[in-house]
Amino acid sequence: MGVTLNSKVFKSRMKKLSGLPSYLLKDALQITKENTPVASGYAKNNTIIQGNKIVSNYAYAGRLNEGYSSQAPEGFTKPTIEQLDDDTAKYVRKI
């Protein structure tokens, strides 16, 4: 028994799937900012996209990510990754 693919459907789905990296990068920025503790807003305002990376462009990013703040005891990386896993699955299921 073989597998038959409809090439139009396959190409359409692959095209939609090619948008996943940029979708996830924007989503990751939003989630990271949501999980960044706020005192003055400096940390959130200096968390940006550079190329294909999220950059926390402030000196104390490491401390915040290690859970230094009681507002984010898990930091911001772990919750972001967990949410991105869920968002990736949802994105792929829609295709």
Verdict on whether the full-model pTM lies above 0.85: no
Both tokens of 78, joined, read 């772990």
Rounded distance, CA 43 to CA 59, Å? 9
pLDDT band at residue 69 under the 50/70/90 scheme: very high
Residues 36-60 have pLDDT tens digits of 999 999 999 999 999 999 999 999 9
Q: Give me the pLDDT at residue 5, please.
A: 73
User: Residue 73's Cα: distance from chain center in Å?
Assistant: 19
